[in-house]
Amino acid sequence: MKPVSHAFKDNAKQALADEPLRRALGGIKHGFVANRAKARAKLPEFERLRDEARAVKEHTLAHLDLYLEAYEKKVTETGGHVHWAATAADARAAILQICQAAGAKTVTKGKSMVGEEIAINEHLEAAGITPVETDLGEYLIQLRHEPPSHIIAPAIHLNKGQVEADFRREHTDLPDNRVLEEPAQLVAEARAVLRKQFLAADVGITGANLLIAETGTSVIVTNEGNGDLTQCLPRIHVVITSIEKMVPTLEDANTILRVLARSATGQECSTYTTFSTGPKRDGDPDGPDEYHVVVLDNGRSEMLGGQFHDMLRCIRCGACMNHCPVYGAIGGHAYGWVYPGPMGAVLTPSLIGIDEAGNLPNASTFCGRCEAVCPMRIPLPKMMRHWREREYEKGNTPAFYKLSLKAWAYAAKNPRLYQTLTGLLIPLLARFGSKGRFRSLPLASGWTRYRDLPAPQGKTFQQLWRAKEMRS
- The one-letter amino acid at 106: T
Based on the shown chain and the rule CB under 8 A, indicate whether residue 224 belongs to the binding site for other proteins.
Answer: yes
Q: Which is nearer to ligand SF4, 80 or 336 (CB)?
A: 336
Based on the shown chain and the rule CB under 6 A, indicate whether residue 378 belongs to the binding site for ligand SF4.
Answer: yes
CA distances from 204 to 94, 97, 235 (A): 14, 14, 8
Dihedral sign from CA coordinates of 75, 81, 84, 87: negative
Q: Which is nearer to ligand SF4, 322 or 460 (CB)?
A: 322
- Tell me which residue of 278, 304, 240 sits closest to 64, measured CA to CA: 304
Q: Which of 140, 236, 315, 376 binds other proteins (CB under 8 A)?
A: 140
Based on the shown chain and the rule CB under 8 A, indicate whether residue 303 belongs to the binding site for other proteins.
Answer: yes
Residues in contact with other proteins, counted by CB under 8 A, come to a total of 108
Q: Which of 376, 383, 391, 433 binds ligand SF4 (CB under 6 A)?
A: 376
CA–CA distance, 60 with 309 (Å, rounded to integer): 12
Beta carbon of residue 455, minimum distance to other proteins (angstroms, whole number)? 35
Beta carbon of residue 113, minimum distance to other proteins (angstroms, whole number)? 15
Q: Which is nearer to ligand SF4, 76 or 365 (CB)?
A: 365
Q: Which of 214, 235, 411, 429 binds other proteins (CB under 8 A)?
A: 214
CA–CA distance, 131 with 148 (Å, rounded to integer): 16
Q: Which is nearer to ligand SF4, 190 or 343 (CB)?
A: 343
Contact assessment for residue 267 and residue 79, using Cβ atoms and an 8 Å cutoff: no
Beta carbon of residue 180, minimum distance to other proteins (angstroms, whole number)? 11
Q: Which of 66, 409, 412, 417 binds other proteins (CB under 8 A)?
A: 66
CA–CA distance, 127 with 110 (Å, rounded to integer): 20
End-to-end CA distance of the chain: 63
- The one-letter amino acid at 396: N
CA–CA distance, 454 with 324 (Å, rounded to integer): 19
Beta carbon of residue 304, minimum distance to ligand SF4 (angstroms, whole number)? 17
CA–CA distance, 205 with 123 (Å, rounded to integer): 14
Beta carbon of residue 450, minimum distance to other proteins (angstroms, whole number)? 22
Site residues (CB under 6 A) for ligand SF4, limited to 107-136:
none
Contact assessment for residue 147 and residue 162, using Cβ atoms and an 8 Å cutoff: no
Site residues (CB under 6 A) for ligand SF4, limited to 294-333:
314-320
Beta carbon of residue 281, minimum distance to ligand SF4 (angstroms, whole number)? 34
Q: 3-class DSSP state for residue 438?
A: strand
Based on the shown chain and the rule CB under 8 A, indicate whether residue 264 belongs to the binding site for other proteins.
Answer: no
- Tell me which residue of 138, 132, 278, 265 sits closest to 196, measured CA to CA: 132
Q: Which of 227, 375, 381, 433 binds ligand SF4 (CB under 6 A)?
A: 375
Binding interface with ligand SF4 (CB under 6 A): 314-320, 343, 374-376, 378, 380
